[in-house]
Amino acid sequence: MGNSTMVLLIYLDAQLHTPMYILLSQLSLMDLMLICTTVPQMAFNFLSGNKSISMAGCGCQIFFYVSLLGAECFLLASMAYDRYVAICHPLRYPILMSHKICGLMAASSWILGSLDGIIEAAAALSFSYCGAREIPHFFCDVPALLTLSCSDTLTFEKMIFFCCVIMLIFPVTIIIASYTRVILAVIRMSSAESRHKAFATCSSHLVVVGMYYGAAMFIYMRPSSGRSPNQDKMVSAFYTILTPMLNPLIYSLRNREVARAFLKVLGMEKAEV
């Protein structure tokens, strides 16, 4: 409901049709789809007692959640670049972050994420699986699925690690570089109000980045020998359910413009004096 509300508010309010909020609407859409990829099947399995999934269903789940995770990695880097340009180069912001460039960034995030999803889903389904075929997880997570394979998965595991370097380390580097410049610029601001506004906008993004990338790196960049199924379940729930649920709260509660748009849609916005 929170992510759907964010997408709807940004779509309905013309004042929110800026690069920052367009990227935020894409983040909410990705989070909404990510939750829908895992939670409905998990809830159905729990309520019905039928804890099974077809190979086709497992492949679809792998494709969508890997695609959305990858797309969100690149989108968060784009959002960091947007804040860097807005704070460090405000006069050039309309040029450096035009609607065309913003659209290209969002589209590129979706495309790159989808490519990663296609590769991982195709590779995971190409392996032979034997034994009990009981996945030690609450959804078809690739690392958990590989433990059931009869095939040699070493090459694929190396490929996953390489993909993680691109999908996780590269965006994190952009985010760290952007916010280092942002923090230095904010410290030099003479106005206390400007510093507070800049920190309020950026701190919410940094909270999301820390929760999301920290959990994803913990799952996908550890050696398979040191994995614990229960530990993986807890951390996976954090970045596939908890973080997407908290994102709209983190952004909306700290953002006056989102609150204003919400009151406007409800017809409760007060007239300015």
Q: Cβ distance 108 to 77 under 8 Å?
A: no
Among 234, 209, 55, 242, smallest CA distance to 136 is for 234
pLDDT computed for residue 272 by the predictor: 45
- Read off the pLDDT of residues 213-268 as tens digits, 9 standing for 90 and up: 887 777 777 666 666 777 778 888 877 888 888 888 877 666 778 878 777 877 76
Q: Cβ distance 71 to 113 under 8 Å?
A: yes
Give the CA angle between residues 61, 27, 206 to the nearest 5°.
Answer: 115
Count CA atoms closer than 13 A to 46's CA, side-chain side.
9
- Per-position pLDDT tens, the chain of length 273: 889 988 998 888 888 899 999 999 999 999 999 999 988 888 888 888 888 888 888 889 999 989 998 899 899 899 999 989 988 898 999 999 999 999 999 999 999 999 989 988 888 888 888 766 788 888 888 888 877 788 777 788 788 778 877 888 888 889 889 888 888 888 887 777 767 767 766 777 777 788 778 877 777 776 666 667 777 788 888 778 888 888 888 776 667 788 787 778 777 655 443
Which residue do the tokens 């309309």 mark? 94
- The DSSP 8-state label assigned to residue 268 in this structure reads -
Q: Cβ distance 33 to 67 under 8 Å?
A: no
Helix (H, G, I), strand (E, B) or coil at 260: helix
- Read off the pLDDT of residues 130-139 as tens digits, 9 standing for 90 and up: 766 788 888 8
- The DSSP 8-state label assigned to residue 149 in this structure reads B
Burial class, 29, CB count within 10 angstroms (exposed 0-12 / middle 13-18 / buried 19+):
buried
CA–CA separation, 178 vs 185, rounded Å? 11
pLDDT computed for residue 248 by the predictor: 82
pLDDT computed for residue 131 by the predictor: 67
Question: Which uninterrupted H or E stretch holds 65?
Answer: helix 55-88
The pTM score is 0.85
**249: Cβ contacts below 8 Å, ≥ 6 apart:** 2
Amino acid letter, 98: S
CA–CA separation, 79 vs 86, rounded Å? 11
Q: Cβ distance 148 to 208 under 8 Å?
A: no
pLDDT computed for residue 25 by the predictor: 92
CA–CA separation, 64 vs 68, rounded Å? 6
**192: Cβ contacts below 8 Å, ≥ 6 apart:** none
Other residues' Cβ atoms within 10 Å of the Cβ of residue 199: 15
